[in-house]
Structure 1
Amino acid sequence: MSTLHHVRPLSFLEKYYTTRHFLGMDACVVTSARYTTTENTPLTKELLFPALRILIEAHAALGVRIEGKEDTADLAFVRLPTVDVSRLVEFSTSSNVQEALEKHLSHGLENTQGDLPLWRLEVLADNTVVFAAHHSIGDGLSHTAFHNSLLRALQETPSSTSSSSVVIPELTLLPPIEDVADIRPTVWHFLAALYELLAPKSWQKSFSAWTGKPVPTVIAVDTRVRLLQFKPSEATRFAEACRAHGATVTSTLYVLSVSVLARLLTSDPRIYKTVSVLIPLSLRPVFGIASDVFGNYISSHNTYPALDSAFSWATAARFAAELQEQRSTNYRAMGMLRLVEKQYARFFMGTLGKKRRFGFALSNLGRFEAPSVEGSWSIGEMFFSPCDSLTGAALGISAVGDPTGGLNITFKWGAESLDTEFVEEFTSLFRDAFLGLSA
């Protein structure tokens, strides 16, 4: 064991992410944001490094690493004494965001117990900043918190050629989810888990659900990405249509995705009757946790909608209400993970070669709200995606609104989970359907 200061033990959810990463089954959660000025100022190290110093000195999560055996429950975050920013940042000559996202979503952190923190940065030639971080230090909103803080720091911090080494202050990580919420599972959660374990497969919802190709038998994270951008005018009309029908952007994207998938699977409807969908839900609004801090405050909702190729606003409205209810009640189901946290490695290894649990996962970070600080810097288009492309959902759909009002969507899949041609046809139909609803 090192002599570094132990900040706190990892929570059961943070251990879940850490075990998956340790086994080579996961990479990083990744966001990108393009930083601009009216003078087209290049984002050099003289500008960026002083700003990153401000972030590291403000957010404890940016100055820790993991200590302990990462496929066990005995793990802790420890505080690094210093961080050399120059070892965390790569300046690229490319401006290809898709390729950058694919790279970072395919490569985890090389050493989570060395002398570097649990994140890295790539600056593309067009000032797009790609932030890749270990899932244990933050959820999707932690990533928007990073860009919010970086934009604020760039506005307030002058250019400097000072040392790239940052002394880590004595900051405390925010408490984990189990310290802010009652996550004890109910009797219903126990019975549901028991049914899934003991009932014949043909009796279960997952039996006739589409979930893409099985989890591969070889552990290798090879993530593919496609990007869609919708103009502010298109995104605004889409959101207005959602509100007019009593739906939300998330619930509408959900029904739209199911209908597009149904159109692609019509060749043999006897095989698949439903699709298994995972919807991550932020618990920050439920428990009063700010959106500009680091932490993992999420639960999820699993559904099995029928594969209906017809889009329905009524279904979108009903699902909006369902998500609202689930956000406030379903988080206690996470407590089931605590019962098996010493068996995470066994669980993940047991998924190899088996049917996936989810066909697609849909995440929506909402619109990024830039800090109200005067300055020459602004943020344009943004993209976001978690990884989990090996054992997770066959297709990940991740949306984020940028400060200009545009809506940007990342489609992510593993090389062994879906065929590229299938995803490209899906994204094409998705785009047409989106524009049709916003016409």
Structure 2
Amino acid sequence: MASSTTLRSAGLLECFHIVRHHLSLDSCVVVAAKYASLDGRSLSQETLFAALKTVVEKHPSLCLKVQQEDAKPSYAKLDKVDLSLVVQFSDAEDVELAIQRQLSTRFDTSAELPLWRLQVLANNTVVFAYHHGIGDGLSGVAFHMTLLDAVKVMTPNESLQTIVEIPKSIALPLPLEKVTNLRPSIFKILAEILGLFLPVSWTRLGSAWTGNPVPAAKPNLEPRVKLITLTSSEMNTFSQVCRSHKATVTSALYVLAATTISRLIPPSSEKYTKLVAAVAISLRGPANASADLMCDYVTAHKSYPLIDTVFDWSKATSYATELQRQRLVSRQEVGMLSLLSGNYIGFFNSQLGRKRGSTFEISNAGRIASSEGQWRIEDMVFAQCNVILGSALTMSVVGDPTGAMTIALTWSETAVDDMLAEAYATEFVDGFRALLV
């Protein structure tokens, strides 16, 4: 499976994710979904491989490898993709364990293999793991929606074809900075430069609890995963309550996360008065990109909620307005990467041994629309790694066509104690259900 055709250089955000993976600080993004047929049929290898051929041909991001990860990363086209090397059928059914193992496994970028892999569990759950450099969280959703459409038109007697030949000419989506304005304001640049020279204790971060510091030496990549499932009935009620308060699901989850963590902060952390939250914002709108595109078009908005153990709907309402206001402003966060002048390795290494930059992160991929046909998807899960340098706790959220919502809580033992994370999951669910009455 040889490849030598360079397609284009990686963009600002793509380089960020490529180098972070190269330094063993991250592994992949995972989006899983259970495929169910009306007649109870299993997803056979023949049907899946035939459908995957259609998916690979539609999404150029699935036909790539990366080059020069430690210098100036670029994407090269593979001549072909051998599905037998990237798809594994398993007798296992434990989705949580499967996702944890995927998040613990980096890609061998030196091999002539694409930057994704599939694990098909015994219960028809398809676990799609992919390099963050080829897609954001919504890209995993786009993959499954394309696969579902392809599976629907496959016949049960499809012949087994493992090789997908890649056309000589494919067009990758442009990097984010080519499709929307990421240029940071002079005030943003000055504030960032000032922050480099001030002691942490003089900044807002100094008074914020963000879990344990980043280890001085890179630990093994061993993410913990806890799946939290909220039923369609619960989500229907929750959405109605959110609307009644002019809040959104994301803004309410944000306040609930902050109040839950506030109750669990260790007694030794009494000196802290606030938390740091990072909430992902899709830039597909400003980039004029469709929902079915696989691309890396995302940013994050950072805020500093006060430590407060009481849920307040007015805060959820206010934060919903704040997020809406940040949809364009937040592009500057990605634009700030241009100040690194390509020295991503130096940047990441400088984070080792320092205070963690955020307490919790929320990435909400939204609810997936239902569709008609012989096949449907359900029980969707979205999960991310980045547990070494990232937030102490990360919540990746997705709603499936049934209306249920799954939250993948990820962390590492170097960031927070396992007991704290498990207690957080329990108290978060209790707090969520208390809002329904």
- With 160-169 and 395-404 compared, the bigger mean Cα shift is at 160-169
State the distance in 1 between where 2:136 and 2:333 align.
18
Shift of 1:437: 1.0
Q: In the alignment, does 2:161 pair up with 1:168?
A: no
Residue number in structure 2 paired with 1:260 = 260
1:423, CA displacement in angstroms? 0.8
CA distance in 1, matches of 2:7, 2:249: 38
- For the residues of structure 1 that align with 2:117 and 2:224, how far apart are their CA atoms? 20
For 1:196, the equivalent position in structure 2 comes to 195
C-alpha separation in 1, matches of 2:306 and 2:126: 39
Q: How far is 1:163 from its partner?
A: 2.3
Q: How does 1:265-304 map to 2 (within 5 A)?
A: 265=265, 267-268=267-268, 270-304=270-304
Q: Secondary structure at the match of 2:32?
A: strand
Of 399, 402, 421, which aligns to 2:397? Answer: 399
Does the CA-based 8 Å contact 1:156-1:375 persist in structure 2? no
Given residue 118 of structure 2, which amino acid in structure 1 is its aligned partner? L
Matches within 5 A, 1:100-139: 100-110=98-108, 112-139=109-136
- Between the aligned partners of 2:248 and 2:300, the Cα distance in structure 1 is 17
Give SS of 1:274's match.
coil
Distance 2:65 2:155 in 1: 29
Counterpart amino acid of 2:50? P
Quote the Cα distance in structure 2 between the aligned partners of 1:101 and 1:348: 25
Please give the alpha-carbon distance, in whole angstroms, between the structure 1 residues aligned to 2:250 and 2:196: 31
Structure 2 distance, partners of 1:418, 1:105, is: 18
State the 1:287 CA deviation.
Answer: 3.1
Separation of aligned partners in 1, 2:208 and 2:44: 49
Letter in 1 for 2:255: V
Q: Distance in 1 between matches of 2:320 and 2:248?
A: 6
Q: What is the TM-score with the length of structure 2 in the denominator? A: 0.96
TM superposition shift of 1:41: 1.2
Q: What corresponds to 2:213 in structure 1?
A: 214
Q: For 2:200 and 2:178, locate their aligned partners in 1 and report how far apart those are by CA, in whole Å.
A: 36
Instruction: Identify unmatched segments of 5+ residues in structure 1.
Output: none
2: CA distance, partners of 1:201 / 1:135: 29
Task: Map Cα deviations across residues 318-358 of structure 1 (whole Å, 9 max, x no partner).
Answer: 00000001112221232110120421111111222221111
1:24-423 → structure 2 map (5 Å cutoff): 24-68=24-68, 70-72=69-71, 74-110=72-108, 112-159=109-156, 160-169=158-167, 170-216=169-215, 217-265=217-265, 267-268=267-268, 270-370=270-370, 372=371, 374-423=372-421
- Alpha-carbon spacing, 1:3–1:98, altered in 2? closer, same or farther (3 Å): closer
> Separation in 2 of the partners of 1:163 and 1:268?
60
Contact conserved, 1:59 with 1:171, CA < 8 A, in 2?
Answer: no
Q: Does structure 1 retain, via aligned residues, the 8 Å contact 2:82–2:164? A: yes
- 1:433 shift after superposition: 0.8
Given residue 146 of structure 1, which amino acid in structure 2 is its aligned partner?
F
Partner of 1:424: 422
Q: Secondary structure at the match of 1:381?
A: strand
TM-score between both structures, scaled by the size of structure 1:
0.96
In terms of mean alpha carbon deviation, does 192-201 or 424-433 score higher?
A: 192-201
Cα deviation per residue 1:19-76 (whole Å; 9 max; x = unaligned)? 11011110000111011113221112111100000001111001111122x122x221
1:300-322: CA deviations, max 9, x gaps?
A: 11111101101010000000000
Q: Contact 1:15–1:341 (CA<8 Å) still a contact in 2?
A: no
Retained in 2: the 8 A contact 1:28–1:135? Answer: yes
Q: CA deviation at 1:375?
A: 2.5
Q: Distance in 1 between matches of 2:266 and 2:351?
A: 28
SS of the residue corresponding to residue 330 of structure 2 reads helix
CA offset at residue 198 of structure 1?
Answer: 1.4
Moved more, 288-297 or 314-323: 288-297
Deviation at 1:5, TM superposition (A): 1.9
Judge conservation of contact 2:231–2:403 (CA < 8 Å) in 1: yes
Q: Give, in whole Å, the separation in 2 of the partners of 1:118 and 1:16.
A: 16
The aligned amino acid for 1:394 is: A
- Matching residue's letter, 2:43: L
Tell me the amino acid that sits aligned with residue 428 of structure 1.
Answer: T
**Rounded Cα–Cα distance in structure 1 between residues aligned with 2:266 and 2:419:** 16
Aligned residues: 433
Equivalent-residue separation in structure 1 for 2:160 and 2:42 (angstroms): 18
Change (3 A) 1:201 1:3: closer
Alignment partners' CA distance in 2, 1:3 and 1:293? 24
Asked if structure 2 preserves the Cα contact closer than 8 Å seen for 1:360 and 1:397, the reply is: yes
Write the letter of the residue equivalent to 2:35.
Y
Alignment check: 8 A CA contact 1:140 1:365 kept: yes
Amino acid at match of 1:221: L
Separation in 2 of the partners of 1:398 and 1:88? 24
Q: Given that residues 235 and 438 in structure 1 are in contact (C-alpha distance below 8 angstroms), is that contact kept between their aligned partners in structure 2?
A: no
Percent identity over the alignment is: 39
CA shift, 1:271, in A, is 2.1
Deviation of residue 267 (structure 1)?
A: 2.9
Distance in structure 2 (CA, Å) of the matches to 1:349 and 1:77: 24
Which deviates the most, 258-267 or 313-322?
258-267
Q: Is the 8 A contact 1:12 1:341 kept in 2?
A: no
Q: CA RMSD in A?
A: 1.4
The 8 Å contact of residues 189 and 333 in structure 1, kept in 2 or not, is answered as: no
SS of the residue 1:383 aligns to: strand
Contact kept? 1:118, 1:137, Cα under 8 Å? yes
Q: What is residue 432 of structure 2 aligned with on the other side?
A: 434
Task: Describe the shift of the 1:3–1:316 C-alpha distance in structure 2 as closer, same or farther (beyond 3 A).
Answer: closer
